[in-house]
């Protein structure tokens, strides 16, 4: 009996709501990250997940670097059933001028939006958080912004818990970042949540970002460790291992991906990644195991999900990797 393949998820409508002099990198960096994510998904034979749209109160605006942006869409008057993001960005200067006609029109539009997790979400980059505060979207929420605008944000919305010295802050359906390049970090975090850490890591490497930062700038995930290099063959192998960690992956199979000999691949990994191919695969599998255990899977289920041949092999790898305790210590009581 044949089974019908599941429907691909609906693409997310991503609307960059722009003003005159919107900071170019605030919107261009995140937009490029989403474009590359779509490109990589298509290369895998999957449908794109992000539909980009640039909207404003006028069809043409000057950007912060003087380039005119033309053929902009009107600000949406309605949303269909697809999930959507509104992306707000900053402008040059130490304060945001909301007295202009364009700003008043944007704020009026924002006040009519009903944010909801997974349905209509807000991504505020840099001083975009200040615009969101003026629109009343940050009351009772945690948010951050560029350090030059922290006091302005707190004064604009006293009911907002303004978080300083943070790359980005997650308070669904509101996501805010400190500014400029951190907008890329925020979007990569959202890509990872929707499409997987492996894809987000691949996007970061395509953009030549040696380090991805998190909401607490926490320890890097195993998908990101040992990837602060520029060697394409090593990256190809790391991408393949991250995307299919349950495969057996003898060294010869890894070498086929790199188009080199097994011995030369081992030398390349040691030189550029600072780790052996086998140890890198083990770190990926252990990272998956930790996530699976925290999600409530049993040790047996976790071993299978992470690509270990048995519970015993998982436990041995756990000890060899220097992880604290035992896998069963990480599992929830119901999953043990």
- Digit-coded pLDDT (tens) for 248-257: 999 999 999 9
The answer to whether position 209 is within a domain reads no
Which of helix, strand or coil describes residue 250?
coil
Which of helix, strand or coil describes residue 85?
strand
pLDDT at 216 over 90: no
Judgement on whether residues 192 and 262 belong to the same structural domain of the protein: no
pLDDT at 278 over 50: yes
CA gap 17, 75 in Å, rounded: 7
Judgement on whether residues 194 and 263 belong to the same structural domain of the protein: no
259: phi > 0 → left, psi -120 to 50 → alpha, else beta; which? left
Judgement on whether residues 76 and 189 belong to the same structural domain of the protein: yes
Average pLDDT, the chain: 89
Name beta bridge partners: 85: 14, 121
Closest C-alpha among 251, 254, 218 to residue 235: 254
What integer pLDDT is reported at residue 198 of this predicted model? 83
pLDDT at 235 over 60: yes
The answer to whether position 258 is within a domain reads yes
Beta-carbon count within 10 A of 147 CB: 11
Q: Are 214 and 161 in contact (CB under 8 A)?
A: no
Judgement on whether residues 62 and 187 belong to the same structural domain of the protein: yes
pLDDT band at 4 (very low <50, low <70, confident <90, very high): low
pLDDT band at 29 (very low <50, low <70, confident <90, very high): very high
Token pair of 85, please? 């993001």
What integer pLDDT is reported at residue 226 of this predicted model? 86
Judgement on whether residues 145 and 244 belong to the same structural domain of the protein: no
pLDDT at 336 over 60: no
Judgement on whether residues 46 and 159 belong to the same structural domain of the protein: yes
Q: Name which of 89-98, 260-269, 283-292 the model is least confident about.
A: 283-292
CA gap 124, 325 in Å, rounded: 40
What integer pLDDT is reported at residue 18 of this predicted model? 97
Half-sphere exposure of 210 (CA within 13 A, CB side): 7
Judgement on whether residues 171 and 23 belong to the same structural domain of the protein: yes
- Digit-coded pLDDT (tens) for 112-146: 999 999 999 999 999 999 999 999 999 999 999 99
What integer pLDDT is reported at residue 333 of this predicted model? 47
Q: Where are the beta strands (DSSP E) in the chain?
A: 12-17, 50-56, 61-62, 68-69, 73-74, 84-88, 120-125, 142-143, 161-162, 168-171, 174-177
Q: Write the CB contacts of 302 (distance below 8 Å, at least 6 apart in sequence).
A: 289, 292, 293, 314, 327, 331
- Digit-coded pLDDT (tens) for 74-98: 999 999 999 999 999 999 998 999 9
Q: Name which of 97-106, 223-232, 252-261, 303-312 the model is least confident about.
A: 223-232
Q: What is the CATH number of the domain that holds 270?
A: 1.10.10.60
pLDDT at 212 over 70: no
Q: Name which of 13-22, 43-52, 64-73, 234-243 the model is least confident about.
A: 234-243
Name beta bridge partners: 175: 123, 170
What integer pLDDT is reported at residue 214 of this predicted model? 58
Judgement on whether residues 253 and 319 belong to the same structural domain of the protein: yes
Q: Write the CB contacts of 144 (distance below 8 Å, at least 6 apart in sequence).
A: 129, 150, 162, 163, 164, 166, 168, 169, 176, 177, 178
Judgement on whether residues 279 and 184 belong to the same structural domain of the protein: no
Q: What is the CATH number of the domain that holds 132?
A: 3.40.50.880
What integer pLDDT is reported at residue 115 of this predicted model? 97
The answer to whether position 206 is within a domain reads no
When divided into structural domains, the chain yields a total of 2
Last residue of a domain, one of 198, 227, 244: 198
The answer to whether position 214 is within a domain reads no
The answer to whether position 224 is within a domain reads yes
Range of the domain at 187: 12-198
- Digit-coded pLDDT (tens) for 174-208: 999 987 788 999 999 999 999 988 898 889 888 87
Closest C-alpha among 284, 285, 323 to residue 302: 285
Cβ neighbourhood burial of 53 (10 Å; 0-12, 13-18, 19+)? middle
What integer pLDDT is reported at residue 218 of this predicted model? 38
Does the predicted model carry a pTM greater than 0.75? no
The answer to whether position 253 is within a domain reads yes
Judgement on whether residues 229 and 146 belong to the same structural domain of the protein: no
Name beta bridge partners: 73: 55
Q: Please give the distance of CA 251 from its chain centroid, rounded to a whole number.
A: 31
CA gap 60, 64 in Å, rounded: 13
Show contacts of 311-319: CB within 8 Å, 24+ apart: 314/289, 317/282, 317/285, 317/286, 318/286, 318/289
């Amino acid at each position: 009996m044949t089974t019908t393949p599941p429907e691909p998820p609906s693409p997310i409508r991503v609307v960059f709501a722009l003003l005159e002099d919107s900071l170019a990198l605030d919107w261009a960096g995140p937009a490029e990250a989403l474009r590359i994510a779509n490109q990589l998904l298509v290369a895998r034979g999957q449908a794109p997940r992000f539909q980009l749209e640039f909207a404003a109160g006028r069809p043409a605006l000057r950007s912060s670097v003087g380039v005119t942006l033309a053929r902009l869409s009107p600000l949406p008057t309605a949303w269909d059933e697809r999930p959507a993001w509104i992306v707000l960005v900053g402008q040059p200067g130490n304060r945001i001028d909301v007295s202009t006609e364009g700003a008043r029109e944007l704020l009026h539009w924002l006040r009519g939006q009903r944010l909801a997790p997974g349905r209509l979400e807000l991504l505020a980059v840099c001083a975009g958080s200040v615009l969101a505060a003026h629109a009343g979207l940050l009351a009772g929420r945690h948010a951050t912004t560029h350090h030059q605008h922290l006091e302005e944000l707190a004064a604009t919305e006293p009911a907002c818990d303004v978080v300083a010295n943070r790359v980005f802050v997650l308070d669904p359906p509101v996501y805010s970042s400190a500014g400029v390049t951190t907008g890329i970090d925020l979007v990569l975090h959202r890509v990872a949540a929707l499409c997987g850490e492996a894809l987000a890591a691949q996007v970061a490497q395509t953009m030549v970002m040696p380090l991805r930062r998190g909401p607490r700038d926490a320890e890097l995930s195993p998908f990101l460790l040992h990837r602060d290099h520029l060697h394409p063959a090593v990256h190809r192998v790391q991408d393949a291992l991250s995307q299919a960690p349950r495969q057996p992956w003898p060294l010869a199979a890894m070498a086929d991906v790199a188009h080199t000999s097994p011995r030369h691949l081992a030398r390349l990994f040691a030189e550029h990644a600072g780790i052996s191919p086998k140890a890198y695969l083990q770190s990926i599998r252990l990272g998956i195991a930790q996530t699976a255990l925290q999600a409530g899977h049993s040790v047996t289920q976790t071993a299978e999900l992470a690509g270990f041949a048995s519970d015993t092999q998982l436990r041995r790898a756990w000890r060899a990797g220097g992880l604290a305790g035992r896998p069963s210590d990480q599992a929830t009581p119901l999953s043990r």
